[in-house]
């Protein structure tokens, strides 16, 4: 084996920003302001502007962003205990945990074979009179949004809570609202994760909520800060989930480069599309330039373990996001055992994530494709 193709090296991802990050961290250290303050306010304003929403609220992580949105809807009387929230069966467990945590009922929907996203059809198949919200997850960086999904949500008066942990900077066309809108500005509220492996990652945990809804924004901000709307005045039994100013300062360095980071991923994805030609390896659906920011490049193959072993033998590291659909996780055994999501289950057994991060060059992608083309099951 001559060369290694690393799946993800976070130190290498952050290296180009290190001088500015050092400066930003020092600025916070010397500010004497270690909770909230100017860095968090500025990051929130910059994220809202980049997303195209009126409000952004920093949180401790992406899971909390989802939990706080749902909790705020419960506190505001828009959702109540036992209401059903439809969520894709192949998402990361965080999406579903947030729904349970708010006392709501997660209802997993199956996904499309080529995009791996929940669709209007798969949502319609699990709607019941108790459905009150849907949680489109922009999985692998691809926007989960369509006219049909919007119409379905509108006609059933469903809240739309985007899980935008994986698709910062992606865009979808929105009929009736003129042109394209960013992931995070498509539904009623959205959760972002800045977990270090995300397209824009912090140096630890961090997350945010975006919304145009002033009432929701105020409730979410209070819930994230002990339920307090002003000092020593608690209107909700809230939590402590604030965006750390050190992480806000790091994110302020990296956020302006989201377009460049995403373009680099797109170039790698385009190379895979051009070069992988092996009937044993199924490619994902192609995407319009901004429709997917390629958080993961996911192929499918029948003999996954053998394929991954072959790739590793040739120096190519891979990953599997995610090997177990949410309804088959032990913590949901019983509760979600009635779920019918055959496509999500099939994908969980056959999917393989190829390297696509800032550590992967276009020539790496070409070489990886050649290795894949020589694979024989
Ligand atoms: C789809 C999805 N939702 C939610 C989360 C939760 O984000 P965090 O790890 O920041 O809590 C993640 C990432 O981990 C994710 O990939």
Q: Could you read off the pLDDT of 263-319 as tens digits, one per residue?
A: 999 999 999 999 999 999 999 999 998 999 999 999 999 999 999 999 999 999 999
pLDDT digits (tens, 9 = 90+) for 53-95: 999 999 999 999 999 999 999 999 999 999 999 999 999 999 9
pLDDT digits (tens, 9 = 90+) for 160-210: 999 999 999 999 977 666 678 999 999 999 999 999 999 999 999 999 999
- State which CATH number among 3.20.10.10, 3.30.470.20, 3.30.10.20, 3.40.640.10 fits the domain covering 12-255: 3.40.640.10
Establish whether residue 322 lines the binding site of ligand 1, counting it when its CB lies within 6 angstroms of any ligand atom. Answer: no
Establish whether residue 95 lines the binding site of ligand 1, counting it when its CB lies within 6 angstroms of any ligand atom. Answer: yes
Whole-angstrom CA distances from 327 to 136, 331, 351 are 17, 9, 18
Establish whether residue 94 lines the binding site of ligand 1, counting it when its CB lies within 6 angstroms of any ligand atom. Answer: yes
Identical fold between 12-255 and 257-373: no
C-alpha 176 to ligand 1 mean position (Å): 30
C-alpha 165 to ligand 1 mean position (Å): 5
Instruction: Return the pLDDT at 173.
Output: 78
C-alpha 42 to ligand 1 mean position (Å): 23
CA-closest residue to ligand 1 atom 8: 62
Instruction: Return the pLDDT at 178.
Output: 65
Give the position, in ligand 1's atom list, of the atom nearest the Cα of 65: 11
84 in Cβ contact with 105 (< 8 Å): yes
Q: What is the pTM of this model?
A: 0.97
> Three-state DSSP class for 34?
coil
Decide if domain 257-373 falls under CATH 3.30.365.10.
no
C-alpha 83 to ligand 1 mean position (Å): 22
C-alpha 68 to ligand 1 mean position (Å): 14
Question: How far is the C-alpha of 128 from the C-alpha of 376, rounded, in Å?
Answer: 46
Establish whether residue 153 lines the binding site of ligand 1, counting it when its CB lies within 6 angstroms of any ligand atom. Answer: no
Pairing of strands 84-88, 105-109: parallel
CA-closest residue to ligand 1 atom 10: 62
Of 70, 90, 94, the one to substitute when testing ligand 1's pocket (max ligand atoms within 8 A of C-beta) is 94
C-alpha 156 to ligand 1 mean position (Å): 27
Give the position, in ligand 1's atom list, of the atom nearest the Cα of 321: 16
Read off the tokens for 158. 């469903």
pLDDT digits (tens, 9 = 90+) for 322-373: 999 999 999 999 999 999 999 999 999 999 999 999 999 999 999 999 999 9
Our separate counts of H helices and E strands in the chain read 13, 13
Q: Which residues contact 261 (CB under 8 A, 6 or more apart)?
A: 199, 200, 254, 358
pLDDT digits (tens, 9 = 90+) for 228-274: 999 999 999 999 999 999 999 999 999 999 999 999 999 999 999 99
C-alpha 93 to ligand 1 mean position (Å): 8
- Buried/exposed code over 258-269 (b: 16+ C-beta within 10 A; e: otherwise): eeebbebbbebb
Nearest to 236 by CA among 256, 254, 216, 250: 216
What are the boundaries of each domain within the chain? Answer: 12-255, 257-373
C-alpha 377 to ligand 1 mean position (Å): 33
343 in Cβ contact with 117 (< 8 Å): no
Establish whether residue 91 lines the binding site of ligand 1, counting it when its CB lies within 6 angstroms of any ligand atom. Answer: yes
Establish whether residue 48 lines the binding site of ligand 1, counting it when its CB lies within 6 angstroms of any ligand atom. Answer: no
Establish whether residue 137 lines the binding site of ligand 1, counting it when its CB lies within 6 angstroms of any ligand atom. Answer: yes
């Amino acid at each position: 084996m001559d060369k290694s193709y690393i799946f993800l090296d976070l130190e290498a991802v952050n290296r180009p920003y290190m001088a500015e990050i050092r400066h930003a961290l020092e600025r916070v250290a010397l500010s004497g302001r270690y909770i909230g303050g100017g860095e968090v306010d500025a990051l929130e304003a910059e994220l809202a502007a980049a997303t195209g929403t009126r409000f952004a609220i920093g949180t401790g992580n992406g899971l909390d962003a989802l939990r706080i949105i749902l909790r705020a809807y419960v506190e505001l009387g828009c959702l109540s205990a036992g209401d059903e929230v439809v969520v894709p069966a192949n998402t990361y467990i965080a999406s579903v945990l947030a729904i349970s945590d708010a006392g709501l009922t997660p209802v997993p929907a199956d996904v499309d074979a080529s995009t791996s996203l929940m669709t209007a059809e798969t949502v319609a198949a699990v709607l019941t009179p108790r459905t009150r919200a849907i949680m489109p997850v922009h999985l692998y960086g691809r926007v989960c949004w369509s006219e049909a999904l919007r119409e379905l949500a509108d006609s059933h008066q469903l809240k739309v809570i985007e899980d935008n942990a994986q698709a910062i900077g992606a865009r979808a066309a929105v009929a009736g609202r003129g042109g394209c809108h960013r992931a995070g500005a498509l539904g009623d509220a959205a959760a972002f994760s800045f977990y270090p492996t995300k397209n824009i990652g912090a140096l630890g945990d961090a997350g945010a909520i975006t919304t145009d809804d002033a009432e929701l924004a105020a409730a979410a901000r209070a819930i994230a800060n002990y339920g307090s709307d002003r000092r020593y005045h608690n209107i909700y039994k809230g939590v402590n989930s604030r965006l750390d100013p050190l992480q806000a300062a790091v994110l302020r360095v990296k956020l302006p480069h989201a377009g460049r980071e995403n373009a680099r991923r797109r170039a790698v994805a385009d190379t895979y599309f051009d070069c992988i030609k092996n009937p044993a390896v199924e490619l994902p659906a192609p995407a319009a330039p901004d429709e997917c920011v390629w958080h993961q490049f996911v192929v499918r193959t029948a003999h996954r373990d053998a394929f991954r072993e072959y790739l590793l033998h040739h120096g190519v590291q891979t990953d599997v996001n995610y090997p177990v659909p949410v309804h088959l996780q032990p913590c949901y055994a019983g509760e979600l055992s009635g779920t019918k999501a055959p496509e999500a289950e099939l994908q969980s057994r056959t999917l393989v994530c190829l390297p696509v991060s800032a550590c992967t060059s276009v020539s790496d992608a070409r070489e990886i494709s050649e290795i894949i083309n020589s694979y024989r099951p």
